[in-house]
A and B are shown apart, each in its own frame.
Chain A
Amino acid sequence: MAIYSQILANGLMLGALYACLAVGFSLVWGVLNVINMLHGSFIILGGYLTYFAWHSWGIHPVVMLPVVGAFMFALGYALQKTVINRVVSAPVLTTLTLTFGLDMILYNVMTYWFTATPRRVQLDLGSVSLGPVTLPVDRLVGTGLALVLTLMLYLVMRGSNIGRAIVAVRMDRSAAELMGIRTERIYAITFGIGALMAGVAGVVFASVFPITTNVTGTYLGKAFVVCVVGGLGSVPGALVGGLVLGLVESLAGHWFGPQQAITAGFVLMLVILLTRPTGLVGVRGYE
């Protein structure tokens, strides 16, 4: 039983990180109807900024959170405003291809500047034991941060004017326009928030896992799975999807070996796609 409580704890910690990683991707897909292939690289960019600030100037990752967040928001806002907005209502083939092209550029720039060597912020916080369960403190703090950040996005979406405008555009673009919402601006803000969430997820990840440009695709894949499993475009959806994926990966890793954990995630996604395309907590007609 002890082994299972450890697996459960690992799965939940991983799941919270996945939720934070995917929530921005989910929002962009839900509101803009764009599959943002840049998301994985955004996460790694946030991670690199954190790592180099820590490595070169000794700035603590927690201090970097707002800095990276602001930078990534600006980057995302500008990209949407100048580039992606021009094709935002085109079919998925076009928007996906465009963001893939942009991703190739960003990937190349990052590999050139930072090289692909795996890097990690070493905080050496030790670990705590709760009965039979051992929890590394850096991971625990990362989990907490991921949950807080996700919750903050939820509050912004529910409580602020911008959040309500985003939800309105998601429900019905033309009606929102008639109500005086400037949809182009909302699109840019949404994409900015998507990039921001990817960036802060990167800050958390850099303190927990080694980061390298080679894993952008892996993180993008996680975002796909979380989004489809939980349901599109909502914070609770991403949270449920993330936790489910974290648990499934931990269990599958234990039963079938670590190599099978990722496969289990994708298989779960394909099954959900075919049986419940709205996701576990998605609303019908809202996909």
Chain B
Amino acid sequence: MKSGPLAYALLAAGLLVLASTPLWADNYVVRTAAIVAMYGALATSWNFIGGFTGYPSFSTAAFFGLGCYVGAICQRAGVPMMLAWLVATLMVGAFACLLGAIILRLRGHYFAIGSIAVVEVCRLVVSSWSSLTGGGDGLNLPLLTWAPEQVMRFFLFVMLGILVLSLIATALVDRARLGFGLRCIHQNEDAAAMVGINTTLYKVAAYTLSAVFCAAAGAAYASWTGYIDPTESFQILMTVKVPVMAMLGGAGTLAGPFLGAAAFVLLEEVFWANFLDWNRAILGVVIVLLVFFLPGGLLSLARKAKAKAGSGGPA
């Protein structure tokens, strides 16, 4: 999928705006920017399996939640913060690799259901394994002792860092054999296997890529909030919200998932602030409208506008 110069410009502008918020805005805005960056990273990760490969994966919350817990448990055991994030990323990556080898044999609806079940099983196991995870009471993490603005700024840049890494990985995969193979699988998996693509290997690679950045974001999020519990960490809402963000921007593109995440988080903030009782319903309406009127995402609008302006150019 080709991303035009407009998409790159939007992407660069978005990242710049997020990174510059500490210079011109208050703590609330910086916090929102960090949330945007975090969901941007989650949606960009989902894009590997959902956008490139076309597998309806709903396991984002499982990877995020496991990342939270592995990071938290390491930190409580005295591992330095950054190292704990790395351990969480690697462990969840290995977990996704093994899990992928099993559940990627499923297709379509069965894969969707299986990947949702993974979130539920992870949540249930974590909430009942009290000796390790604190069960339903959750876990407290050591808090950073800096000033609040400093903490906020630090985590903004951490989330931005994870987002940028996931974008770089996307760009690399997009150009490599892997990206080509994944798109072949998206179009016709049997045909892709027939022409010699190792579909199992490629799918497991995409699934693992979709997990590692979620785990990193989860571990960083746990350190940021200082407290995690099973219901917060493994949310079915998050596991559907992230694919919706990617689709809102444009699934399968480089910039789309991040732009969709930004648009979605901003909408959500506005609804939370103004319609406390109805924010969930309003988000539901947004999702329904998205499915009906913007199935190709926001970037498809830009592409259409361009096709109209430069008549005869490739759409």
B291 pairs with A263, CB closer than 8 A? no
Closest to B244 in A: A97
Residues of chain B at interface, number, CB under 8 A: 43
Nearest-neighbour CB distance to chain B for A282, whole angstroms, equals 12
Contacts known (A104-B281, A224-B116); A273 close to B110, Cβ less than 8 A: yes
Tell whether A103 is near chain B: CB-to-CB under 8 Å.
yes
Please tell me if the beta carbons of B105 and A100 are within 8 angstroms of each other in the complex.
no
**A263, B113: Cβ atoms under 8 Å?**
no
B141 contacts A by Cβ under 8 Å: no
- Chain A residue numbers with a CB within 8 Å of B236 are 217
**Do residues B287 and A104 form an inter-chain contact, with CB atoms below 8 A?**
yes
Is A104 within 8 A of B284, CB to CB?
yes
Interface of A is mostly: helix
Q: When the two chains form the complex, which single residue of A92, A97, A108 contacts B108, counting CB atoms closer than 8 Å?
A: A92
Cα-based distance from A117 to B132 in the complex (angstroms) = 32
Q: Do the beta carbons of A94 and B295 come within 8 Å of each other?
A: yes
Contact among A33, A87, A109, A263 with B125 in the assembled complex (CB-CB below 8 Å) = A263
Cα-based distance from A269 to B113 in the complex (angstroms): 10
Given known A86-B292, A98-B287, A108-B278, contact A267–B121 (CB-CB < 8 A)? yes
Given contacts A91-B56, A273-B110, A98 and B278 within 8 Å (CB-CB): no
Please tell me if the beta carbons of B113 and A228 are within 8 angstroms of each other in the complex: yes
Across the interface, B114 reaches (CB within 8 A) one of A86, A221, A263, A273, namely A273
Within the assembled complex, what's the spacing in Å between the Cα atoms of A90 and B58?
Answer: 17
In the bound complex, what is the Cα–Cα distance between A282 and B295 (angstroms)? 34
Considering the chains assembled together, what is the distance between the CA atoms of A239 and B277 in angstroms? 39
| B288 interface hit (Cβ, 8 Å) | yes
A206 CB → nearest B CB, Å: 23
Report B-chain residues with C-beta under 8 Å of the C-beta of A257. Answer: 128
**B193 at interface by CB-CB < 8 Å:** no
Within 8 A of B (CB), among A225-257: 225, 228, 257
Asked if A71 is an interface residue, CB under 8 A from chain B, the answer is no
**In the bound complex, how far is the Cα of B103 from the Cα of A105, in angstroms?**
31
Q: How far is the CB of B156 from chain A (nearest CB, A)?
A: 29
Q: Is the CB of B288 within 8 A of A102?
A: yes
With known contacts A103-B284, A228-B113, A273-B110, A97–B121 Cβ distance under 8 A: no
Query: Could you mark each residue 4-24 of chain B with 1 if its beta carbon is under 8 Å from any beta carbon of chain A, else 0?
Result: 000000000000000000000
Residues of chain A lying within 8 A (CB to CB) of residue B280: 104-105, 107-108, 111
Residue in A closest to B124 when the chains form the complex, CB atoms? A263
Contact across chains for B287 and A101 when beta carbons are under 8 A apart: yes
Q: How far is the CA of A186 from the CA of B23 in the complex (A)?
A: 59
Asked whether A266 lies within 8 Å of B105 as measured between CB atoms, the reply is: no
The answer to whether residues A35 and B113 also contact, given A83-B288, A108-B281 and a CB cut-off of 8 A, is yes
Contact (A105, B285) CB under 8 Å given A263-B125, A270-B121: yes
Chain B, range 93-110, C-beta contacts under 8 Å to A: 102-103, 105-106, 108-110
Contact of B243 among A93, A103, A109, A259 (CB under 8 A): A93
Q: Is B117 an interface residue (CB 8 A)?
A: yes
A146 to B112, CA, bound (A): 28
From B103, B124, B283, B284, A266 is in contact (CB under 8 Å) with B124
Residues from chain A with Cβ under 8 Å of B109 in the complex = 29, 33, 35, 92
Closest to A33 in B: B109
Contact in complex: B281, A98 (CB < 8 Å) = no
A260 in contact (CB, < 8 A): yes
A262 CB within 8 Å of chain B? yes
Contact of A97 among B279, B281, B285, B287 (CB under 8 A): B287
B33 within 8 A of partner (CB)? no
- Are B247 and A263 closer than 8 Å at their CB atoms? no
Q: Are A104 and B283 closer than 8 Å at their CB atoms?
A: yes
Decide: B105 and A274 in contact? CB cutoff 8 A: yes
Given the complex of chains A and B, what is the CA–CA distance between A83 and B285 in angstroms? Answer: 12
Instruction: Return the CB mask of B40-67 against A: 1 if under 8 Å, else 0.
Output: 0000000000100010101000000000
**Contact for B110 among A97, A259, A266, A277, CB less than 8 A:** A277
Known contacts A29-B109, A108-B280; can you find 16 more A-B pairs with CB under 8 A?
A91-B108, A93-B50, A93-B112, A96-B58, A96-B240, A100-B287, A101-B288, A101-B290, A112-B278, A217-B236, A228-B113, A260-B128, A270-B114, A273-B106, A274-B105, A277-B110
Q: Which 10 A-B pairs have the closest CB atoms?
A: A101-B287, A104-B284, A108-B281, A105-B284, A108-B280, A93-B56, A263-B124, A101-B288, A101-B284, A98-B291
In the complex, 14 of the A-B residue pairs with CB atoms within 8 angstroms, ordered by the A residue number, are A87-B291, A91-B108, A92-B112, A96-B56, A101-B286, A101-B287, A102-B284, A109-B281, A224-B117, A259-B124, A259-B128, A266-B117, A270-B103, A273-B103
